[in-house]
Amino acid sequence: MFLEACRRRPVPYTPVWIMRQAGRYLPEYRELRAKVDFVALTRSAELAAEATLQPLRRYPLDAAILFSDIMTPLQGMGVGLEFDPGPVVREPIRTAAQVDALPRLAPQRDVPFVLDAIRLVRAGAPRGVPLIGFAGAPFTLLCYLVCGRPSKEFSAARALLYAQPETAERLLDRLADAMTAYLAAQAAAGAQALMLFESWAGLLGIREYRRFALRGVRRVVAGLRPLGVPLIYYVNQGSALMEAVSELDVDVVGVDWRSPLGAARRVLGPGKAVQGNLDPAALFAERGELKRHIEVVLDEAGPLPGHIFNLGHGIWPDTDPDAVARMIDYVHERTARRPLA
């Protein structure tokens, strides 16, 4: 269902998955994390596969997403970093010399555990539930590499775009090439769709978005397109950027909760599916209200094929797992269509 919806084909019901579906809101994930730290979890193929499968045992989800992190491949390339709980880079990148010294990524050598985890998930996932592989979009990775830790403004990263634009471009190209190799290796290992997470491009004005962030994404998309695997681009706080996003040759655009899906679809045009976009906070609404908020999202998505239901950003750690079950069931129930004659 999920892969059909990515390709904008009619489906018997709207498929659902949840950003951060393997995570701290699940008691079984917290149990796993009590025994192993986050990095060890991501670096063990068996444990990463287990975390990926946990939400699929609990819920009738229509896709799995690999349990890993956008920083995992950079760690594989030798970038020193810890998680506290977000990524903290030991030596932030600020100079052209540091960019040039960044090693290239060889996925089989540097992150074999990710590829092994993908093989284990494919062997263990329920029938018909495809696996999404993912990477950080180049500009979002640049934000963490340059600033060194999560931030509201990512000011050092944004300053670099103006102070040393060529260095920024060189870093984006490096990251784009690394993520292209990384995602191609994930597809070869069995990932059936590939998603790029662009968490911070919403900080940019349209000119800088085009020159820097879009440059990086275009380069990755150009490298992956020949694989024929559906490509998903999620851009957080992307309302003002949608026209530029519409030019990208991706199958699906992930939309945050701030822009109604109808508005996003009008700008993106008929050639793209949309994914989203219930506010993660809506899972705290009383039962009847939650249904009403889900209906608003479904109505905004409209009757045309090419909608994948999701939250507008990652699920919050204090979310009630039963509210998640009610959400998934209600989307399936509300969108059930008679089989095509």
Residue 32 to residue 14: CA distance in whole angstroms = 31
Tell me whether residue 8 or residue 16 sits nearer to ligand CP3 (CB atom): 16
**DSSP labels for 239-259?**
GGGHHHHTTS--SEEEE-TTS
Residue span 218-247 as binding mask against ligand CP3, x where in contact by CB under 6 A, dash where not: ------------------x-----------
Tell me: does residue 277 bind ligand CP3 (CB under 6 A): no
Active-site hit among 25, 29, 59, 144: 144
33 is catalytic: yes
Tell me: does residue 23 bind ligand CP3 (CB under 6 A): yes
- Side by side, the strands of the sheet bearing 131-136 are 64-65, 131-136, 193-198, 231-235, 252-255, 273-278, 307-311
Closest contact distance (angstroms) between CB of 10 and ligand CP3 is 27
Closest contact distance (angstroms) between CB of 183 and ligand CP3 is 13
What are the two backbone dihedrals, phi and then psi, of residue 274, each rounded to the nearest 5 degrees? Answer: -120, 150
Tell me: does residue 316 bind ligand CP3 (CB under 6 A): no
CB crowding 115-126: b at 16 or more within 10 Å, else e:
bbbbebbbeebe
Q: Which residues pair with 189 in a beta bridge?
A: none
Residues 54-83 that bind ligand CP3 (CB under 6 A): 65, 67-70, 83
Contact segment (CB under 6 A) with ligand CP3 among 18-26, 103-111, 168-176, 222-230 equals 18-26
Tell me whether residue 8 or residue 68 sits nearer to ligand CP3 (CB atom): 68
Tell me: does residue 209 bind ligand CP3 (CB under 6 A): no
**DSSP labels for 94-160?**
-SHHHHHHPPPP-HHHH-HHHHHHHHHHHHHSPTT--EEEEEE-HHHHHHHHHHSS--SS-HHHHHH
144 is catalytic: yes
Closest contact distance (angstroms) between CB of 23 and ligand CP3 is 4
Name the closest residue to ligand CP3 (Cβ): 199
Tell me: does residue 284 bind ligand CP3 (CB under 6 A): no
24 is catalytic: yes
Closest contact distance (angstroms) between CB of 84 and ligand CP3 is 8
CA 81, distance to chain mean position in Å, is 21
Residue 228 to residue 224: CA distance in whole angstroms = 8
What type of residue is 60? Answer: P
Tell me: does residue 134 bind ligand CP3 (CB under 6 A): yes
58 is catalytic: no
Give Cβ neighbours of residue 223 (< 8 Å, ≥ 6 apart). 176, 177, 180, 184
Tell me: does residue 150 bind ligand CP3 (CB under 6 A): yes
Burial of 327 (0-12, 13-18, 19+ CB in 10 A): buried
Tell me: does residue 114 bind ligand CP3 (CB under 6 A): no
Q: In the set 54, 167, 180, 199, which binds ligand CP3 (CB under 6 A)?
A: 199
Q: In the set 2, 154, 197, 233, which binds ligand CP3 (CB under 6 A)?
A: 197
Residue 143 to residue 156: CA distance in whole angstroms = 8
Tell me: does residue 165 bind ligand CP3 (CB under 6 A): no
What type of residue is 211? Answer: R
What are the two backbone dihedrals, phi and then psi, of residue 106, each rounded to the nearest 5 degrees? Answer: -115, 100
Just list the catalytic residues.
Answer: 20, 24, 33, 69, 144
Q: Which residues of the chain form contacts with ligand CP3 (CB under 6 A)?
A: 19-24, 33, 38, 65, 67-70, 83, 85-87, 134, 150, 197, 199, 236, 314
